[in-house]
C-alpha cells in the first residue's frame, strides 16, 4: 500500500482499504467486454515511442488477459499525472484524453476508468 494515492484514503475518498475493496466488489463491471492482452501498467513511462509510433513496452510484470478498460484507465491516469508533472494544465489533459478516445474510436466510460484506477491502488 506504499504507492496508494493520497486522495484514495481521505475524507473525500474511502475510510480504509476494506471500504475501497467493498466498493470494488460492488462496482465490478459486468463481463460484457472482450478480453484482450493487457499490459497491466500501461502508463507513459512504460511505452517506448519513435516518432508517432509505440515501438516497445517496459514493465510487463502485470501483463495478462483483461478487460481493455484496465489499460485505457491507467493510460488516462498517466496522461493526467505526467502532463501536470511537466507543467501542462487541465485543458491540455482534456485535449489529449479526447485525442486518445478519438484514436481508439470509442467514447470514454468514466465509471470504468474510475473503477480500474481504483483497482490499481491495490497493486
- Chain mean pLDDT for the chain: 90
State the catalytic residue, choosing from 41, 67, 71, 120.
41
* Residue 41 known to be catalytic: yes
pLDDT band at residue 123, thresholds of 50, 70 and 90?
confident
DSSP state, residue 50: E
Cα dihedral across residues 109, 115, 121, 123: positive or negative: negative
Sketch the domain layout of the chain as residue ranges.
17-120
Q: Assign 2 a pLDDT band (cuts: 50, 70, 90).
A: low
The mean pLDDT value for 5-30 works out to 85
β-bridge mates for residue 67, sequence order: 35
Q: Does domain 17-120 have CATH number 3.40.710.10?
A: no
Burial 87-115 (b: 16+ CB within 10 A, else e): eeeeeebeebbeeeeeeeeeebeeebbeb
Kindly report, residue by residue over 23-67, the tens digit of the pLDDT.
999 999 888 777 899 999 999 999 999 998 989 999 999 999 999
Amino acid at each position: 500500500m506504499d504507492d496508494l494515492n493520497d486522495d484514495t484514503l481521505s475524507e473525500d475518498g474511502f475510510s480504509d482499504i476494506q471500504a475501497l475493496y467493498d466498493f470494488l466488489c460492488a462496482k465490478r463491471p459486468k463481463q460484457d467486454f472482450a478480453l484482450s492482452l493487457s499490459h497491466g501498467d500501461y502508463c507513459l513511462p512504460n511505452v517506448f515511442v519513435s516518432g508517432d509510433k509505440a515501438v516497445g513496452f517496459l514493465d510487463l510484470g502485470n501483463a495478462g488477459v483483461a478487460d481493455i478498460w484496465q489499460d485505457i484507465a491507467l493510460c488516462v491516469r498517466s496522461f493526467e499525472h505526467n502532463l501536470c508533472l511537466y507543467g501542462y494544465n487541465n485543458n491540455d489533459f482534456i485535449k489529449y484524453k479526447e485525442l486518445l478516445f478519438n484514436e481508439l474510436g470509442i467514447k470514454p466510460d468514466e465509471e470504468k476508468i474510475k473503477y480500474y484506477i481504483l483497482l490499481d491502488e491495490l497493486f
